[in-house]
Structure 1
Amino acid sequence: MTTLTWNFRIAALFLATIPAVAQAQASDPAARIGAYDDAVIAVMKAKLATAARADRFEPLVKSYYDMPTIAGLVAGPAWAKASAADKASAVAALTRHSAVSLARNFKSYDGTPFTVDPKVIERGPDRVVKVTIGGDTLFYRMRETGGSYRIVDVISGGVSNLALQRADLATTIQTGGLPAMVKKLAQLDAVK
C-alpha cells in the first residue's frame, strides 16, 4: 500500500467520524455543555470590550439555549395571547439579553478550568449538567429540542436564572405585554 493510499484512507476514516462526533455531542448533554464552555472560554480569551463580547456570545446563545422555550416560560400566561411577531421580538430580545449578561459576567479568562461532571442528572424530560468553575458551581437544566439538548435554565447558588428573569419582568409583562418586556430588556442591555 502506498503512502498516498494510506493517508487517503486515514483522512476518509477521520472525515467519516465527524458526523458521528457531532451527533454524539448533540445527544449527550454533558458533551454539549463541554463544547459550550469551550466556546465561552474562547470568547473570554479574545479580550474584547463588552459590546464585542456580547456580539460573540449571541450566536452561542442561539446555538446552545432553547430561547423560544425560555421566552415562553419568562412571559408566562402572556405568551399564549401574544402575536407571532411579538413572540419573535421577545425571543430576539431575550437572546440579546442573555448574550449581554454573559459578556458582563465572563470578561476575561484567568485559566480557571470549567469542569463538567459527566454524570448527568435526569429530571423528567430535563437533563441537569453540573459545571464547576473554581469555587462556583453552575447547574445547566437542558431539554431536548430538535434532536439536541439545549439549555433552558442555569442555576447558580441555588437560584434559577429563569425564575429571576420571570420575577424581574412580571410587572412589566403584566402591564404592557411582550412589547413592554422587549423595551425594558433593550434598556437594561444598553452596553456602555
Structure 2
Amino acid sequence: MTTLKHAFRIFALMTLAAPAVAHADASEPAARIGAYDDAVIGVMKAKLGTAARADRFEPIVKAYYDMPTIAGLVAGPAWASASATDKASAITALTRHSAVSLARNFKDYDGTPFTVDPKVIARGPDRVVKVTIGTDLLYYRMRQSAGTWKIVDVISSGVSNLALQRADLATTIQSGGLPALVKKLAQLDAVK
C-alpha cells in the first residue's frame, strides 16, 4: 500500500510539472512568430517597390523559414535522388520565391495589428501558431531546426501554402526534376 501511495505521489508531481515544461516550450514558437511579424511590418513601413521589398524579405525568409525542409517537401520523391548541387539550387530558388511572394502580398503597412495568439498548438513535433491580421487568420506550422523554431508551412483560409506549391510545381518537377523547378520559379519570380 505504501509503494502504491508513493508511486501515486510521483505520478502527481510529474503531472503537475509537465504543463510548466510544455508552456515554456510553447512560448518560444509564439515569440519567434512575433519577431517575424515585426520584421515583416518593418519592411512594409519602408514603402519600397516590389523588387526592393523582395530583397529585404529574403534574409527574413532565411532566418525564419526552414527552407531545406520546405524544398524537400515541395520536391517530393525527386528530392531523394537529386544531387547536392540541385538541392542547393532548389533551396535558393524557393527562398527567393518566398521572398517575392511576401513582397507581393505585404506591400505597405496601414496600421493593422498582427496579433499572435500565445496559445501554441502541439502537433507531434510541430507547433502551430495563430496570427490574426485584421479579419484574416494565418496559422504558422513550425518545426525545430538546429535548435530553433522555424516555419515549415503557412495556412490561410484553411489552405496550406506548402500543399499549393507542391501541387503547382509537381508537373514541372516530374518532367525535369529540380533544375526545371529552379527555372520555373525564376520565371514566376521575375520582378519588374
> TM-score range, shorter-chain basis?
0.7 to 0.9
* Count of equivalent residues: 169
Residue 36 and residue 57 in structure 1: after superposition, are their counterparts in 2 closer, same or farther (change >3 A)? same
Residue 98 and residue 25 in structure 1: after superposition, are their counterparts in 2 closer, same or farther (change >3 A)? farther
Aligned counterparts of 1:71 and 1:146: Cα–Cα separation in 2: 17
Extract unaligned runs of 5+ from structure 2.
1-23
* RMSD (Å), alpha carbons: 1.4
Residue 161 and residue 91 in structure 1: after superposition, are their counterparts in 2 closer, same or farther (change >3 A)? same
Aligned counterparts of 2:95 and 2:162: Cα–Cα separation in 1: 13
State the match for 2:124 in structure 1.
124
Question: 2:111 matched to 1:111?
Answer: yes
Residues 30 and 118 in structure 2, CA contact (< 8 A), matched pair in contact too: yes
1:28 aligned counterpart, secondary structure: helix
Q: Shift of the alpha carbon at 1:69?
A: 0.1
Q: Shift of the alpha carbon at 1:117?
A: 0.1
Aligned counterparts of 1:27 and 1:155: Cα–Cα separation in 2: 20
Extract unaligned runs of 5+ from structure 1.
1-23
Residue 66 and residue 107 in structure 1: after superposition, are their counterparts in 2 closer, same or farther (change >3 A)? same
Residues 29 and 142 in structure 2, CA contact (< 8 A), matched pair in contact too: yes
- 1:1-192 alignment, distance < 5 Å: 28-192=28-192
State the match for 2:16 in structure 1.
none
Aligned counterparts of 2:140 and 2:167: Cα–Cα separation in 1: 19
Residues 26 and 147 in structure 1, CA contact (< 8 A), matched pair in contact too: no
State the match for 2:20 in structure 1.
none
Question: What CA deviation, in whole Å up to 9, does each residue of 1:10-32 have, x standing for no partner?
Answer: xxxxxxxxxxxxxx999700000
Aligned counterparts of 1:65 and 1:121: Cα–Cα separation in 2: 18
Q: Shift of the alpha carbon at 1:165?
A: 0.1
Residues 26 and 127 in structure 2, CA contact (< 8 A), matched pair in contact too: no
Residues 82 and 178 in structure 2, CA contact (< 8 A), matched pair in contact too: yes
Residues 25 and 32 in structure 1, CA contact (< 8 A), matched pair in contact too: no
Aligned counterparts of 2:154 and 2:95: Cα–Cα separation in 1: 14
Aligned counterparts of 1:27 and 1:62: Cα–Cα separation in 2: 21
Higher Rg: 2
Aligned counterparts of 2:60 and 2:148: Cα–Cα separation in 1: 14
1:101 aligned counterpart, secondary structure: helix
Aligned counterparts of 1:131 and 1:80: Cα–Cα separation in 2: 34
Residues 27 and 118 in structure 2, CA contact (< 8 A), matched pair in contact too: no
Paired AA for residue 131 in structure 1: V
Residues 37 and 114 in structure 2, CA contact (< 8 A), matched pair in contact too: yes
